[in-house]
Structure 1
Amino acid sequence: MNKQIILNLPVRDLEKSRAFFAALGFGFDPRVSGDNAAMVVIVQDAIHAMLTTEAFFKTLIDKPVVQAKEANELVICLSCESREEVDSLIAKAVAAGGRTPHPPEDHGFMYDQGFEDIDGHLWNLVWTAPQEG
């Protein structure tokens, strides 16, 4: 079995969150999706996000659920293949109801911008120029 990264994220409205990530072009794994959760496929066989209702998420932990619109525990960073992919995903996120917490940052060798999804989780998209060798 390949190693995978699966992010478990609490969401307030599962259907709205599914629609948000579908608008970004991500698919879902129906085998592990249902009334309480939906598995977003970010990178096939490698990176997934399990969107879970807050009620179900609470059954997995013994601490309060952080309200991501009020406080952040982490920033999820995804690499992109080009500046254009960064800009395209940001535009899709904003059109689907997300917001950008800061303008894009261009460091020459690296370009990035972030978005906040509809539940307040922060995602940073980054493109890094190939190294010349």
Structure 2
Amino acid sequence: MTHIFVNIPTNDLERSKAYYTALGCALNPLFTDENAACIVWSDQIFFMVLTKEYFATFTDKEFADPKTHAQVLLSISRETREDVDRIVEAGVAAGGTAPGEPQDFGFMYARDLIDPDGNGVQFMWMDPEAAAKGPEAYMAEQAQA
């Protein structure tokens, strides 16, 4: 089985732990200490929130500030459109920001959420039928209905 571990930097580890648990994530205490917190999104997806100093030990590359530079856009699916709205609202209440308007394509709905350190995650829902058939075929069927 494949697991995904996304390493993200933080200026304040305790704030990050409080933020991500406010979104409904759990912490794995076996991989959480004064340098890092293992944020559990699912049985296969984890964020390793690392202090900037600890993050720097994993790479020789220059650190890019996530508040001013984008390197990757992560997208995590939710079961419903309402679940997308709920997690974004929880993130904003916990100190994050929700830039821009929701992206609503009918078959897919997405919103961005930025944590207090500037790390972004997009939460999205896609109609299961559109996911199975592909968006073009699904939209063609909807137009004929």
Report the TM-score when normalising by structure 2: 0.87
**Do the aligned residues in 2 keep the contact of 1:12 with 1:53 (CA within 8 Å)?**
yes
SS, match of residue 124 in structure 1:
strand
**Do the aligned residues in 2 keep the contact of 1:9 with 1:51 (CA within 8 Å)?**
yes
Shift of 1:63: 1.3
Provide the C-alpha distance between the structure 2 equivalents of 1:110 and 1:103, rounded to a whole number of angstroms: 14
Structure number with the higher helix fraction is: 2
Q: Provide the residue aligned with 1:67 in structure 2.
A: 65
Q: Provide the residue aligned with 2:9 in structure 1.
A: 10
Shift of 1:101: 1.4
Q: Give the total of aligned pairs.
A: 131
Q: Provide the residue aligned with 1:122 in structure 2.
A: 120
1:6-44 per-residue CA deviation (whole Å, 9 max, x = no partner) reads: 001111100000000011010010001101000000012
Structure number with the higher strand fraction is: 1
SS, match of residue 16 in structure 1:
helix
SS, match of residue 35 in structure 1:
coil
Q: Provide the residue aligned with 1:102 in structure 2.
A: 100
Shift of 1:54: 0.3
Shift of 1:122: 1.1
Q: Where in structure 2 are there 5+ consecutive unaligned residues? A: 134-145
Q: Provide the residue aligned with 2:140 in structure 1.
A: none
Q: 1:57 aligns with which of 43, 55, 58?
A: 55
Q: Provide the residue aligned with 1:88 in structure 2.
A: 86
Dislocated runs of 4+, deviation >6 Å = none
1:70-118 per-residue CA deviation (whole Å, 9 max, x = no partner) reads: 1111111001100010000000000011111111121111111111111
Shift of 1:58: 0.6
Provide the C-alpha distance between the structure 1 equivalents of 2:81 and 2:31, rounded to a whole number of angstroms: 32
- Is 1:78 matched with 2:76? yes
| Larger Rg computed on CA atoms | 2
SS, match of residue 73 in structure 1:
coil
Q: Where in structure 1 are there 5+ consecutive unaligned residues? A: none
**Do the aligned residues in 2 keep the contact of 1:106 with 1:112 (CA within 8 Å)?**
yes
Provide the C-alpha distance between the structure 2 equivalents of 1:128 and 1:117, rounded to a whole number of angstroms: 23
Amino acid at match of 1:22: T
SS, match of residue 101 in structure 1:
coil
**Do the aligned residues in 2 keep the contact of 1:7 with 1:48 (CA within 8 Å)?**
yes
